[in-house]
Amino acid sequence: MRDIKCAVLLDARKVRDYGIGEYIQGILRELKGQPICLLGYRRDRDLFEFPMLEVKSRGYTLYEQYEIWSKINEIRAGLFHTPHYVFPMLYRGKLVVTIHDIIHLIYPQYFRFGAFYYARLFIKEALRRADAIITVSKRSRSDLLKIYPHAANKIHVVYNGISEEYFSDVDHAAEEFVLRFKPYIL
């Protein structure tokens, strides 16, 4: 793997998660042919057409911190992009972090003990150390800036793309049926 040139190393371990997984798949779909390498699990190797460094650690563990850091150092990519706010704290290279939302910080009462503190630590460190923060909406950017106003120059809104699989011809009979029940919430 050391002889492969990777401008970007993308953490793709959450590719099977719903929101973040769609985000990862969208990035990879649009960047085919680019010098990107991935971090991922063995079970996901067939999902990708990019070189992949296999990892074994479970998320949110100390071993994850060590293993991801050592894999990044092994490949020496120009930039590490994590599509989730967790990144190896020992990493000192170029870093881009995507923070989709900060619901753990806004509504800590709805999460198990420790999730708030874990999220707060990693989000704070990401905002301090990342070269750029991507968030997927103006609302998420605004939420981040309420707590971390000093990070305004780092936070960039990049909206999620929509996969072509969600586009189809409109069934006009179904549309008329739904419109009879105004007002409605999607």
DSSP per-residue letters across 137-151: SHHHHHHHHHH-GGG
- C-alpha dihedral sign at 171, 177, 182, 185: negative
Confidence of residue 184 (pLDDT cuts 50, 70, 90): low
On the question of pLDDT at 13 being above 70, the answer is yes
Q: What pLDDT score was predicted for residue 182? A: 76
Q: What is the pLDDT of residue 167?
A: 80
Tokens of 186: 């999607």
Query: Would 159 be classed as within a structural domain?
Result: yes
- Domain span at 128: 8-179
* DSSP conformational letter for 45: G
The pTM assigned to this predicted structure is 0.88
Instruction: Check whether 161 has a pLDDT greater than 90.
Output: no
Average pLDDT over the chain reads 93
Q: Kindly state whether residue 70 falls inside one of the protein's structural domains.
A: yes
Q: Is residue 1 part of a domain?
A: no
For 25-37, the pLDDT digits (tens) are 999 999 999 999 9
Residues of the chain above pLDDT 70, percent:
96
The verdict on residue 69 lying in a domain is yes
Domains in the chain, number? 1
| Distance, CA of 124 to CA of 151 (rounded, Å) | 10
Reference 88, options 25, 13, 29, 158; nearest CA is 13
Q: Which residues contact 157 (CB under 8 A, 6 or more apart)?
A: 134, 135, 136, 137, 138, 140, 141
For 88, counting Cβ atoms within 10 Å of its Cβ (0-12 exposed, 13-18 middle, 19+ buried), the class is buried
Domain assignment present for 184: no
Instruction: Band the pLDDT of 185: cuts 50, 70, 90.
Output: low
Q: Where are the alpha helices (DSSP H) in 107-185?
A: 115-129, 138-147, 172-179
Is 126 contained in some domain? yes
- Asked if the structure places residue 185 within a domain, the reply is no
- pLDDT score of 134 more than 80: yes
* pLDDT at res. 48: 93
State pLDDT tens for residues 37-58.
Answer: 999 999 999 999 999 999 999 9
pLDDT in tens, 97-112: 999 999 999 999 999 9
Average pLDDT over residues 8-24: 96
Give the residue among 34, 32, 75, 83 at the shortest CA–CA distance from 53.
Answer: 75
Please report, for the domain that includes residue 125, its CATH number.
3.40.50.2000
- Asked, for residue 52, whether it belongs to a domain, the answer is yes
**Residues, the chain:** 186
pLDDT at 148: 97
